[in-house]
Structure 1
Amino acid sequence: MAVGRRKRRKLGQHFLVDEGIADRIVEESGVKEGDRVLEVGPGRGVLTRRLIDKGAFVRAVELDRHLHAQLKEKLDKPGVCEIEWGNALKFDFDSIEAPFDIVSNLPYSVSVALIKMFFDHIGKIKSMTLMVQSEVAKRLTAKAGDSAYGSLSVYTSYHCKTERLFTVQPKAFSPRPKVESAVIGLKPLPDGEEPPVNAPDKEAFFKFVAASFVHRRKTIKNNLRDLWPDIGSFEKSLLTTGVEGSERPQEISLDRFAALFNEWEKNS
């Protein structure tokens, strides 16, 4: 038994035991009868049962074999709920009919990696209601000027409208984590709506943003000037975009990053 507990901690699993919090997460998700839901890390099924009760079809992916077997026996039912064993980071998004919602208490250890993977399939997703560590929630929902604002914040705001819904205290879990958690809502852009900025080469844009944050305490000039052919062209790009060379990356909004990136592409 002790070995099983250690293994689940290694997987980053903290099981939600507060029934009221579980109710609130499902209500905040807006899931209704007939919706399709992907749940990552269902654990003991506290959210899974509530989603089923809403009349949704639930596809739940669990890595822990013991928990998978328990959930498979209790909840798996054709047309109602499918309990799948496996690593969610390798999930086949073509295997679930789109569009679908994602409602999950994400394993702490891989929460950011999972969210980035979700963004890779954003066109299939209707909404995401996710519980993560409070610090991760701050990074995901931060705006320019916030202390938690970074490349992940820019990455998220490019793909979704974000909202921090509520904070969850450690006592809501077993075992209790050492930090607070938070539930966030992520709403992908509606079909046909363009991203909030013009950055045609999305992959190159995100690499550019990541380079801007390599040294958070340095100015944008110190972080990026070597990407330009010469200091003169760099300073001209700053003037064109209205970005001050003395600004730090956490002060620069998504649209200003995009403007600077487009200037960089012209000079590359």
Structure 2
Amino acid sequence: MRGRPLLPFLRIAGWLPPWLAPGTLIPGVPAMRAPASNPSGVHFLRDRTVIAGLLRSARPRGGDLVLELGAGPGVLTAALAGTGARIVAVERDAAFAARLRRRFAQRPVTVVEDDLRRVRLPRRLFAVVANLPFATGTAVLRRLLGGRDVPLRGADLLVEWGFARRLTRPVPRDAETAWWAARYELRIARRVPATAFAPAPRVAAAHLVVRPRQLDRRALPVLRALLTDAYRRPAAPLTAVLAAHVPAARAHRLARSTGIAPPAIAGAVPPSVWAALAAAAVVAEPAARARSIS
């Protein structure tokens, strides 16, 4: 082995030498274009600055449960394990999973060999920190944000740049994305260059931050109904959509309470405003019932 380069070993092991200065790339993981035979969109993270940004945003601490979806060679896993949080690293590839088990045998890391799109989610409060394969973004977000009973504390995800831009539009294009954005704050923390990954994708990535909004659970059925109706009738006046789900006499009052002018059309209303309207509707209902009784 004398004279053989160490780089291939580093590429396989995903080892991050402690002496590397922040902002440097992991040696042995060359910058290259993603080949056409990479339909899953797997790109291994190799930039320490990006890893540090994920951890600063997520702030995992001792006792926290953190789910890492698509752990790969374990570069991000190692950083997460150093926080003292309990890490569940999900990896579909059997060779990578075996390597992860050996590497983190003495660390608070549980390796689950499963598809990140189908793995069972924790029942207790958890966070997600992950470098998602670009092809899995929609499926993963659908699982994390689509249901009502997922105990998600927050997520910090590396996703494809265009996908992140679509998710964070002021007014989403479809009702499903609006349902996510009404219940969770979705924002882009930073643009991540293709050179932060190996193989390098053809497009940039984004650090997507997901945080739950504080919503009364009683408002969720109303919110779902409002969004469904709004996206079915985007040209209808906001008050007309409201009046289909709350007493007409209160529709204008609810609209004014959120600062929306009555001429506004349903298709121009941001998801956060629909959430506020749904919350106001469930608060107003008991008050109106009490007045009618008295």
Q: Normalising by the residue count of structure 1, what TM-score does the alignment of the two structures yield?
A: 0.71
| One-letter amino acid of the structure 2 residue matched with residue 166 of structure 1 | R
SS at match of 2:155: strand
Q: Aligned pair 1:69/2:93, yes or no?
A: no
Quote how far apart the aligned CAs of 1:84 are: 0.8
| One-letter amino acid of the structure 2 residue matched with residue 200 of structure 1 | P
Cα 1:14–1:255 change in 2 (3 A) is: closer
Cα 1:256–1:121 change in 2 (3 A) is: closer
Q: Aligned pair 1:175/2:202, yes or no?
A: no
**Take 2:67 and 2:37, find their aligned partners in 1: how far apart are those partners?**
21
Structure with the greater alpha carbon radius of gyration: 2
Unaligned runs of 5+ in 2: 1-33, 256-260, 282-294
2:46 to 11, 17, 27: 17
SS at match of 1:167: strand
Q: Aligned pair 1:103/2:129, yes or no?
A: yes
1:40 to 60, 69, 74: 69
Mapping 1:141-160, distance limit 5 Å: 141-144=168-171, 150-160=174-184
Counterpart position of 1:130: 157
SS at match of 1:220: coil
Q: Aligned pair 1:200/2:200, yes or no?
A: no
State whether residues 139 and 150 of structure 1, in contact with CA within 8 Å, keep that contact through their aligned partners in structure 2: no
1:92 to 104, 116, 120: 120
SS at match of 1:9: coil
Counterpart position of 1:215: none
SS at match of 1:67: helix
**Take 2:272 and 2:62, find their aligned partners in 1: how far apart are those partners?**
38
2:188 to 144, 164, 169: 164
| One-letter amino acid of the structure 1 residue matched with residue 164 of structure 2 | A
**Take 2:71 and 2:114, find their aligned partners in 1: how far apart are those partners?**
12
| One-letter amino acid of the structure 2 residue matched with residue 66 of structure 1 | A
1:254 to 262, 271, 278: 271
Counterpart position of 1:80: 108
Q: Normalising by the residue count of structure 2, what TM-score does the alignment of the two structures yield?
A: 0.66
Structure with the largest fraction of helix: 1
CA displacement 1:151-172 (0-9 Å, x = unmatched): 3542222211233211101111
Counterpart position of 1:118: 144
**Take 2:183 and 2:272, find their aligned partners in 1: how far apart are those partners?**
13
Q: Aligned pair 1:56/2:56, yes or no?
A: no
| One-letter amino acid of the structure 2 residue matched with residue 220 of structure 1 | A
State whether residues 181 and 272 of structure 2, in contact with CA within 8 Å, keep that contact through their aligned partners in structure 1: no
Cα 1:176–1:56 change in 2 (3 A) is: same
| One-letter amino acid of the structure 1 residue matched with residue 209 of structure 2 | G
Quote how far apart the aligned CAs of 1:9 are: 2.1
**Take 1:167 and 1:9, find their aligned partners in 2: how far apart are those partners?**
22
SS at match of 2:162: helix
Cα 1:56–1:168 change in 2 (3 A) is: same
Unaligned runs of 5+ in 1: 213-218, 230-235, 263-268
**Take 1:66 and 1:205, find their aligned partners in 2: how far apart are those partners?**
47
